[in-house]
Structure 1
Amino acid sequence: MARPKKRFQQLIEEIDRTPWGPAEQALVSEAVALAVEIGDERLEYEARMRQTASANMGGATDVMLNSFAWCLAHHEADPQRFPADLDNGGADLMWQFKWMAASLRSSPAFSQDQIAAVLDDMEKHYRAGGLGLSGVLTARFEDAWDAGRIDEAETLRVQLEATPRDDHSHCDACGRSQIAGFFADTDRDAEAIVLVEEMIEGGFSCGEEPEHALSRVLLPYLRAGRFDEAKTAHLRSYRLAKDNPDNLRIVANNIVFAALTGNEARALALVEKHIAWLAHDGLNVDAHFAALAALAVALDRVTAAGYGDTPVRGADSPALVPFFGEHEGRWSAAELAASAWTAADRIATAFDERDGTDGHARSLGRMRALSDEQYDVPIRSDAFVAPAPSTAPVDADGWFERAMQLAQFGAEHETLDALPRALEVEDPYKRAQLLSMRLGILIAFERADEALELLPQRIAALRAAGRDEQAALEEHLGLATFGIDTPEATADLEDAIADAASLPAWSRGDLALSRAALHLQAGEADAALDLAELAARSFAEADDTRLANTTTLVAISAVLRKGDMEAATALLDRFLSQEDLSTGHRAQALQTRARVRGGGNSYAEGAADADEVCRLLAELGATRALGDAHLLAGALWEDADEPEKAVSRYRLAAHIASEGDGDSTGVDFRLARVMLRAGDAEEAAELFGDVLQREEEADVAAGSRAMTASMLARSLSAAGEFGQAVGAHSYASELFGQAEEHADQAMSMTEQAKILARFDEHDDAIELLESAAETVRRAPEAVGALSEVLHSLGQAYGGRGDERAFALFDEVAALAQQHEAEWLLADVTDSRGRALAELGRIDEAVAAALTAADGFAALGDLGSAGGSELFAARVLAGNDRAADAVPLYRSTIDHAADHPPLLQVAALELGNVLESLGRHGEAAEVRALVQS
């Protein structure tokens, strides 16, 4: 048995260092099973004590109750062998007692007598163990509050407040959160907010805190008109809660917030994302009640916003039938809202019958009363997308026109979708044209066998249309005129072109165009251009405007392939000025010009073209192509430094991708990135978190996940979530290391170190920077990362008066000179001055700072120049050289004309210096600058 026991001990150690979650739960289950297999009840006790805590955190109420009962029975039978406290840093048996009463209360299947018995048993054990009664009072308070006995709950709250805290009291985070929830529930919003804000400012946290507390004050914040705080609390609460099904109540509070703040699309998205959680814990019926009421409120708002017919994804899961009942087809928002209210009312009745109160009925009444509340707190991570303004054709001829337009744009998938209805046309030549499209698309999709089977239909349609010569030509050439790229087909095509003089003009054009397309695919732009010109003349002779315009687009592609952007732009402009362009051709030309303009840095003009492409494709119903067009428009608006416009385009692209089989994860990454750029850091962090989770589930390459984690860290920092940002940077660093992307790994470590230094964790910051410096030297070609990391480490050393800073500054300066990075040279010179000042080398420090100022000024960066001069002036003033500091302060003021904060600081400090020198008049004049 030695080896199994050793494995058991390894499991226990691993459990104790693994965060709550699926991995930890699996380890606990393995430990319990192994202890049972070994047959050692003492080991089983150790495992089951941990299982109780694990199940509590994971929302496995049935497992928790059974595990606790087993442990309590063994403890009562032999307290020495099975002590209440295993001293493992986790919850002891008496602490777990608090969870039991709450768990029984959460299901109406347990009677009030059973709950009271558990509470009495808990108090008996506490008194017998000589423990304080704070934990017991907490449990009795929770029982009274949940049952709707509000007066009793208030009495217990006051009594609890007067009872000394002990080792079994709720922690600061949980205690404040609980009372804040009670205050919010009893219309004491201001008191609830104070408790939660004290909790946040104190940095108190626990298993489900601060996310639960933040969710409890969302409505109080709204009612107090503190919308910014409400939005921040919502985004942080949801981001922290969204991955654990045991947080159903927290998510429910956040769903209600989204519904009441004009974010109905977000509310629906959260409903769809979390509706499956209803089936997670069958015994936590009170959480089901809260969630169902929240769903009902949200879906009512969705319906009121005009989207009641929207299907609610996930609601038709068989696991949810016990909540909503059987339903034919997909649930609409309006239907599901009504069913959710019914289910919530059914649960409320069961609880109130059990408790002998109307507590749950009153709670449901408060939820219904929210229909009168509305607040404007925009959150842009989700939005309803209006249906594309496309009118479906009503007959085969209409579908023929639709298919032609789609093909002329190049929307191959949508063309294939339209063809079956279009092929019902009676005109044989129209059928022949449609079959030509299908053949070309099948070849493009590498489905040549299907194309070969279809070819006889095309030939028959040509003959029926009286195009016998073209039919004979295609019968002879096979698939050569439809884009198949084989040596035999190419040879046959060239022979046919050589002998084409006797053919009709249209056939000559078709041969030339087919060969031009193959030349273009092979990168033979000149040959493609020559044949395109031949094809254009032939189609003009045949009076076929459509194919003449198609040929012009091929010619433009050939000119672009040659790299002649100026000629291509002229051709595109002339082409788009034509009045005979079809919608498909116009959209294709505009998309090409949008890309050309983007490549030429004319981003706004290119984005305008892309927006027009989106409009035209929406008319054609080209869904997949429309998603790509919105993505292009978003990218161009992003490059044009118009992040607000980019957000809306990316959101539409993301919606289309999520509805089909597009890359929604990639689009969401772009959307999150531009939201961060637009200043929506909290929303960006949430979306980056979702993207990272999807990438983890799809086992995306480490380097890609690392980039997402790095962007998540940046968003968290911008949102003020520095603790989480440190963790995200650490994870990004780990992933970059796995991908052997050493420069990026070092940069992630550097960003992490900067946050640590900000909170005075300087030893840890320097240790990280030293590791980053070792890492980045493995990528010497990454000059930007190398200089950034070495510079940061030098600054950290310099701040401590460590002489090692100067060798690093020398190295960065050499890199700057080598690569003509003048701004970096000035910046590192400024850092050198600050390090010299730390060592008391005053003259050298001032000289370095002034050299840096000259460098910044020469580059036109007067703000940085003034900053360096201000530092030099402070060094002199702080070392009894006030008179020498005066001209430097004056120079700082000159450079700070367009930088009000710098001007204000410099003027105030100069005034103080002049005052100390007895130059009172000058001091008054300088201080007047601040007031003007």
Structure 2
Amino acid sequence: MPRPAQRLEQLLEEIDRTPWGPAEQALTAEAVALAVEIGDEQLEYRARMRQTASANMGGATDVMLNSFAWCLARHDADPVRFPADIENGGADLMWQFKWMAASLRSSPSFSQEQIAAVLDDMEAHYRAAGIGMSGVLTARFEDAWDAGRMDEAEELRVRLEATPRDDYSHCDACGRSQIAGFFAATDREEEAVRLVEEMVEGGFSCGEEPEHALSRALIPYLHLGRFEEAKAAHLRSYRLAKDNPDNLVIVANNIEFAALTGNEARALTMIERHLPWLAHDQLNVDGHHAALSTIAFALDRVTAAGHGDTPVRGADAAALVPLFGEHDGTWTAEQLAAAAWTAADRIGAAFDERDGTDGHAQRRARMQALAAEHYDVPIRSDAFAPAPAAATPVDADGWYDRAVAIGSYGSELDALAAADRAESAGLSDPARRARMLGLRIGALVSLEQVDEASALLAPRVAELRASAQEDQAELEERLGLSLFGRGTPDDIAALEREWADAAALPERPRGDLALTLASARAGAGDPAAVELAAQAQRIYQGVDEDRLATTSVLTAAVALLRTERTAEAAELLDQLVEGERVNDGHRARALDLRARVRGGIGEFGAGAADADRAAGLLAGLGAERALANAQLLAGALWEDAGSPEQAVVRYRLAARLVAQHGGDREGVEFRQAKAMLAAGDAAEAAELLSDVLQREEAAETPAGSRAITVGMLARALAGSGEFGQAVGAFGYQAGLHAEAEEPADQAMAMLEQARILARFGEMDEAIETLEEAADVVRPTEAAGAITQVLHELGQGYGSQKDERAFALFDEVARIAAENDAAWLIADVTDSRGRAFAEFGRIDDAVAAALTAADAFAELGDAGSAGGSELFAARVLTEAGRRDDAVPLFRSAIDRAAEIPPLRQVAALELGDVLSALGRNAEAAEARAIAEG
């Protein structure tokens, strides 16, 4: 075991390797505690300097202030033993000084005199150390702006702009963001946006940038009518900020944006997610003021949208009582809005009293002025889910009917909940009590809660006898849970024995026996189940048991589907869907099954319509768990039908229901994000996928499953233009596939990385990534992955004039031939031609391109054929052989008859070549083709 001092050194090294966050904060606290235990102040100084930076990044203001004060006292007493800069990034005492005045300003507990003293102390230390005044002016500017001394702030901004930058100036990202925020606050919105866009386009970033700057530009973008830029900025800002409680103000800016743009449901979701942050840092009172004001404003918009009675989850947490006050029951949006305004006004008044200004009152006035503004910038990741159209039953009989209908559909938990309500309401009819007990037993058996089901058998038999159903009672006494679907081998054997002597039974119990046995046989794929179900149907029709007769028809349909007699099953389902004496539960189940049948034969739109009808019926029954599954089915069918926008709506409601009632929330939201990506909402998909991934990582989901989520996230990031983050995400995906021992998938993720790198001219890194991917994938038997990686690597080598390209093309062609992949052979032949062109081998390049064109044409791919011929024509043109190129351009135009973009390009280029040859009339004809 290492000695304490050695362990402390190890901790400091580990801290320096660990990203900001809870893990790093825990290591820092451990290091400080160990240094105190050792009693070595120099070691403690090194640990506390790190702790100050850690606390600043994590929003632990009290820790930061205490740590800084301790370090400053040691430095002032002995600057040699305790140097200002310990050469460890943010662990520089003079740099940390910049955080102190802002931290004191964030709480009205600190007086203006204390803040001024810190600023003066900072300036004295800077002058003594020979440091420029840029950092000091920045701190004074921030103080004046935050206090509402706007004229003074503007004067300081001008002085700051004229002051030479130095090592203690804000970085480019933070400096631009800060001034952009000031411009926005002083109605210079075009200048604010310009600064933010310069920052983003320049790739400047820092601890909370660019997310803070983007959030500051949101309202200016709206006022300037640049809605698409506003939406993109919001989605990126919020996704980057949403996981760090120190970003409370950034999140508040994004909530305000959502409320202003008709996305009230999204604003409410964000509020619920971030309410706990109000209790994170008790000294960040100014952040609380910004957040509370925004929460109040947003909840007012929720109320105005007609959802003021919506509960706000998490608002009743004990840690929030000091802010919102005591409250009985759940806070609604309208109630919490009023409480948040009260809290914000109380805090704002305390700040204004401390500062002797009306700065916070002016902020409230600016926010109130926004109440008259509205912008239509729809974001589809959140919306108020329509309340299920279910009228609440008013008595026991109403609940009984609902439970029966839900039981007919087969949603166990929903049925049990309705049965509970029916029984608690006091059913007077013993036959109905018996039916509810039977429903409960069947549902519990299906849920594998066998002991609970067994305990209800005796009360069920008693109610049967009380309702003069003696024959049924005797049958259930003999067979017990065998009659309720338990399905063990002993149960099936008991049913078969009873059925052999069933002729002596009265019709009602005989029908029950036939139906139970038919269901068991259908589950095993036994064709005899169809006839048994038909017998049960005839029996029940004879005793006017419509519900059980319908159950028998459904059982027959299932049995037919299990034995692949789809057409016959479809006929039965059609009858049930249109039947007059079919309850809503049975009709919903028939629609559900028919939707699946239609999806299975490729009739996706019709299947989606059936699933939607089923969802409507289930909503009317209040069967919300079943409704979630119906929405999932509808979403999947709409996706298959090529309507991802419709799928998003269904998945969104399913996700809300699953979050409320339990289930695979990550799976549902993954589907929602996938549909959003297909619908073109890449940035929104990225935000949702990052949430899914975060929960999967917290739940320690297996690496292979997480890799799928990360891969989709990477695609969403690329689709929203965040290519740098997409490269990182594809790298993370590759690592997860490696952890899961999935080398082919690992290589494909690396291939995607390389494609982005190549797109932005990073060819050396792209090729290096592809070489590593090739080493990973070659030992596998995944021919598709092998050929994709090797083909792309060959293209990379070719672009760099590396002879190794041709050996790779040969290898790809060989694997393609072994797998009868004719199109791939044509494609790699085209790649070979392009590589020849890089080497200046003109005739070889043209020959290969034309060979590829003929192969593509033979396969019916006119677009690729025309593309290969167009390439060959360009090679000849660049080599000065224009006469030889002309027929190839003409052939490419002919091949592209049904491909307007390719036809237009080929015609325009032919026109240019003909003009260069002096054949102007022909050139005009070619250009006419392009224009037509």
Q: Please report the TM-score for the alignment, with normalisation by the length of structure 1.
A: 0.97
Q: Which moved more, 1:69-78 or 1:353-362?
A: 69-78
Partner residue, 2:17: 17
Extract unaligned runs of 5+ from structure 1: none
Question: Is contact 2:770-2:793 (8 Å) kept?
Answer: yes
Deviation of 1:785 (Å):
1.6
Please give the alpha-carbon distance, in whole angstroms, between the structure 2 residues aligned to 1:428 and 1:323: 54
Amino acid of the residue matched to residue 681 of structure 1? A
Deviation of 1:892 (Å):
2.2
Deviation of 1:440 (Å):
1.8
Give the length in aligned residue pairs.
Answer: 930
Deviation of 1:813 (Å):
1.8
Q: Which moved more, 1:69-78 or 1:230-239?
A: 69-78
Deviation of 1:486 (Å):
4.0
Deviation of 1:115 (Å):
0.9
Deviation of 1:667 (Å):
0.4
Partner residue, 1:54: 54
Deviation of 1:541 (Å):
2.6
Deviation of 1:487 (Å):
4.5
Partner residue, 1:426: 428
Question: Is contact 1:817-1:825 (8 Å) kept?
Answer: yes
- Written as runs of structure 1 = structure 2, the 5 A alignment for 1:447-466 is 447-466=449-468
Q: Which moved more, 1:855-864 or 1:14-23?
A: 855-864
Partner residue, 1:738: 739
Check if 1:726 corresponds to 2:723. Answer: no
- Written as runs of structure 1 = structure 2, the 5 A alignment for 1:99-118 is 99-118=99-118
Partner residue, 2:583: 582
Check if 1:531 corresponds to 2:532. Answer: yes
Partner residue, 2:498: 496
Please give the alpha-carbon distance, in whole angstroms, between the structure 2 residues aligned to 1:486 and 1:26: 53
Deviation of 1:663 (Å):
1.6
Deviation of 1:91 (Å):
4.6
Partner residue, 1:631: 632
Partner residue, 1:560: 561
Please give the alpha-carbon distance, in whole angstroms, between the structure 2 residues aligned to 1:778 and 1:567: 49
Check if 1:571 corresponds to 2:536. Answer: no
Amino acid of the residue matched to residue 34 of structure 2? L
Please give the alpha-carbon distance, in whole angstroms, between the structure 2 residues aligned to 1:577 and 1:289: 59
Please give the alpha-carbon distance, in whole angstroms, between the structure 1 residues aligned to 2:235 and 2:95: 31
Partner residue, 2:664: 663
Deviation of 1:738 (Å):
0.6
- Written as runs of structure 1 = structure 2, the 5 A alignment for 1:685-834 is 685-780=686-781, 782-834=782-834
Equivalent position to 1:481, from 477, 480, 483: 483
Please give the alpha-carbon distance, in whole angstroms, between the structure 2 residues aligned to 1:450 and 1:26: 46
Deviation of 1:389 (Å):
0.7
Please give the alpha-carbon distance, in whole angstroms, between the structure 2 residues aligned to 1:449 and 1:239: 47
Deviation of 1:594 (Å):
0.9
Please give the alpha-carbon distance, in whole angstroms, between the structure 2 residues aligned to 1:69 and 1:810: 69
Check 1:586–1:852 CA distance in 2 against 1; reply closer, same or farther (3 A cut). Answer: same
Question: Is contact 2:20-2:54 (8 Å) kept?
Answer: yes
Partner residue, 1:4: 4
Check 1:792–1:149 CA distance in 2 against 1; reply closer, same or farther (3 A cut). Answer: same
Please give the alpha-carbon distance, in whole angstroms, between the structure 1 residues aligned to 2:375 and 2:290: 21
Check if 1:181 corresponds to 2:208. Answer: no
Q: Which moved more, 1:402-411 or 1:470-479?
A: 470-479
Amino acid of the residue matched to residue 682 of structure 2? A
Partner residue, 1:506: 508
Partner residue, 2:650: 649
Please give the alpha-carbon distance, in whole angstroms, between the structure 1 residues aligned to 2:475 and 2:923: 96
Q: What are the Cα deviations for residues 568-601 of structure 1, in whole angstroms up to 9, with x where unaligned? A: 2223223434322221111111111111111112
Q: What are the Cα deviations for residues 483-522 of structure 1, in whole angstroms up to 9, with x where unaligned? A: 233444434333322222232222221111122222233x
Deviation of 1:651 (Å):
0.7
Check 1:420–1:73 CA distance in 2 against 1; reply closer, same or farther (3 A cut). Answer: closer
Please give the alpha-carbon distance, in whole angstroms, between the structure 2 residues aligned to 1:280 and 1:453: 49
Partner residue, 1:594: 595
Please give the alpha-carbon distance, in whole angstroms, between the structure 2 residues aligned to 1:44 and 1:394: 70
Secondary structure, aligned partner of 2:138: helix
Q: What are the Cα deviations for residues 740-794 of structure 1, in whole angstroms up to 9, with x where unaligned? A: 11111111111111111122211111111111111112331x2222221111111
Partner residue, 2:678: 677
Question: Is contact 1:525-1:559 (8 Å) kept?
Answer: no
Deviation of 1:435 (Å):
2.3
Please give the alpha-carbon distance, in whole angstroms, between the structure 2 residues aligned to 1:778 and 1:4: 47
Q: What are the Cα deviations for residues 358-378 of structure 1, in whole angstroms up to 9, with x where unaligned? A: 111101111111111100000
Please give the alpha-carbon distance, in whole angstroms, between the structure 1 residues aligned to 2:898 and 2:153: 60
Check if 1:618 corresponds to 2:640. Answer: no
Deviation of 1:416 (Å):
1.2
Partner residue, 1:550: 551
Please give the alpha-carbon distance, in whole angstroms, between the structure 1 residues aligned to 2:273 and 2:241: 13
Partner residue, 2:327: 327
Deviation of 1:830 (Å):
1.3
Secondary structure, aligned partner of 2:642: coil
Please give the alpha-carbon distance, in whole angstroms, between the structure 1 residues aligned to 2:540 and 2:234: 63
Amino acid of the residue matched to residue 918 of structure 2? G
Amino acid of the residue matched to residue 223 of structure 1? H
Q: Which moved more, 1:236-245 or 1:901-910?
A: 901-910
Please give the alpha-carbon distance, in whole angstroms, between the structure 1 residues aligned to 2:920 and 2:495: 95
- Written as runs of structure 1 = structure 2, the 5 A alignment for 1:875-914 is 875-914=875-914
Secondary structure, aligned partner of 2:455: helix
Extract unaligned runs of 5+ from structure 2: none
Q: What are the Cα deviations for residues 164-197 of structure 1, in whole angstroms up to 9, with x where unaligned? A: 1111111111010000000000000001011111
Please give the alpha-carbon distance, in whole angstroms, between the structure 2 residues aligned to 1:814 and 1:393: 70
Partner residue, 1:356: 356
Please give the alpha-carbon distance, in whole angstroms, between the structure 2 residues aligned to 1:549 and 1:42: 83
Amino acid of the residue matched to residue 773 of structure 1? A
Partner residue, 1:82: 82
Please give the alpha-carbon distance, in whole angstroms, between the structure 1 residues aligned to 2:834 and 2:926: 26
Deviation of 1:2 (Å):
7.6
Q: What are the Cα deviations for residues 788-841 of structure 1, in whole angstroms up to 9, with x where unaligned? A: 111111111111111111222122222322333332222211111111111121
Amino acid of the residue matched to residue 466 of structure 1? A
- Written as runs of structure 1 = structure 2, the 5 A alignment for 1:3-402 is 3-402=3-402
Deviation of 1:4 (Å):
3.0
Deviation of 1:877 (Å):
1.1
Secondary structure, aligned partner of 1:478: helix
Secondary structure, aligned partner of 2:357: coil
Deviation of 1:888 (Å):
1.5
Please give the alpha-carbon distance, in whole angstroms, between the structure 2 residues aligned to 1:193 and 1:37: 51
Partner residue, 1:520: 522
Deviation of 1:47 (Å):
1.5
Please give the alpha-carbon distance, in whole angstroms, between the structure 2 residues aligned to 1:103 and 1:448: 60
Partner residue, 1:541: 542
Deviation of 1:528 (Å):
1.9
Q: What are the Cα deviations for residues 868-908 of structure 1, in whole angstroms up to 9, with x where unaligned? A: 22211111111121211111122222333444443343333
Deviation of 1:472 (Å):
2.5
Question: Is contact 2:296-2:340 (8 Å) kept?
Answer: yes
Question: Is contact 1:85-1:92 (8 Å) kept?
Answer: yes
Please give the alpha-carbon distance, in whole angstroms, between the structure 1 residues aligned to 2:690 and 2:907: 45
Q: Which moved more, 1:180-189 or 1:899-908?
A: 899-908
Please give the alpha-carbon distance, in whole angstroms, between the structure 2 residues aligned to 1:229 and 1:209: 17
Secondary structure, aligned partner of 1:170: coil
Amino acid of the residue matched to residue 541 of structure 2? A
Please give the alpha-carbon distance, in whole angstroms, between the structure 2 residues aligned to 1:648 and 1:551: 34
Deviation of 1:448 (Å):
3.1
Question: Is contact 2:90-2:96 (8 Å) kept?
Answer: no
Please give the alpha-carbon distance, in whole angstroms, between the structure 2 residues aligned to 1:901 and 1:171: 46
Q: What are the Cα deviations for residues 78-110 of structure 1, in whole angstroms up to 9, with x where unaligned? A: 222222122233352111111111111111111
Please give the alpha-carbon distance, in whole angstroms, between the structure 2 residues aligned to 1:674 and 1:35: 53
Please give the alpha-carbon distance, in whole angstroms, between the structure 2 residues aligned to 1:5 and 1:478: 71
Please give the alpha-carbon distance, in whole angstroms, between the structure 2 residues aligned to 1:559 and 1:124: 88
Amino acid of the residue matched to residue 439 of structure 1? I
